[in-house]
Amino acid sequence: MAFYHHKYTADRAYAITSSKKFIYTTNTGRSWHVAEAPTLPNTFGQAVLRFHPESDYLIWTGEDGCSGRGENCHAEAHYSRDNGRTWKLLDTYIRNCAWARDAALFTDPSEIICESYRDKTGNQKLFQMGNPLELIGGADYYRRKKKLFDHVVGFAKFSEFLIVAEVRRTLATVLRFPFTERSYLVPTTGASARYPGFFGWNELRDWFVPTNDATCSTRRFTLIGVWEPKSDI
């Protein structure tokens, strides 16, 4: 179904099958091994595997309850610290879970971030805007969870930054890209105090996104970035 080259370790790769079995190499393909995931790979369009600079750390996003009528079909994430030999449940009814740590983002290596639906019941494929995605940060491998945002569009990592798009009011129409308004980094006084103990949050200038409905006003959401004390921001 999919093939993943390890983002941080050049000699590792993973072949995902339509079952719980996956095949991997740790020596640039000279030998291959079969392992078993905790669930079937997800059919929600999300990455099945997420990687960590620590090579053996994996996050698997699969699905459960999707056979038959699928009344409680949902995505769920598990993590492994031994390259998939054992797994532990992270969260259910999620869209995306990832390690906070990156090559240049020196956060707590045990921190995991998940976009998690507020209401965890029913068929996830049928969810509408009335069930928002909350951004949850979990230290100690998601054992110490904290809600960071109530309603997010998504998050992305690049270089030493984690960028989060948050909905400030309910969106009535599909967002159109690219953005047409200027956007740039600005300092925000006291931003890190909003979420003590989890990153240092630095709020960016609001980006305004036009809608495709003339009856609706321009919608707004705010980007949030991670800053390090050594950063120039």
User: Between the CA of residue 201 and those of 3, 101, 135, 205, what are the distances in Å?
Assistant: 34, 15, 14, 13
Enter the tokens of residue 146. Answer: 């904290």
Average pLDDT of the residues in 47-61:
97
Q: Which of 98-107, 115-124, 199-208 has the lowest mean pLDDT?
A: 199-208
Of residues 230 and 15, more confidently modeled: 15
Higher per-residue pLDDT: 166 or 44: 44
Residue 144: enclosing H or E segment and its boundaries?
A: strand 144-149
Burial class (CB in 10 A: 0-12, 13-18, 19+), 190: exposed
What pairing do the DSSP bridges indicate for beta strands 40-41 and 49-51?
Answer: unpaired
Per-residue pLDDT, 143 = 95
The token duo for 203 is 């709020």
The residue among 196, 185, 198 whose CA lies nearest residue 231 is: 185
**Average pLDDT of the residues in 141-146:** 94
Q: Which of 186-195, 202-211, 221-230 has the least mean pLDDT?
A: 186-195
Of the CATH numbers 3.50.30, 2.120.10, 3.90.550, 1.20.120, which one belongs to the domain with range 2-226?
2.120.10
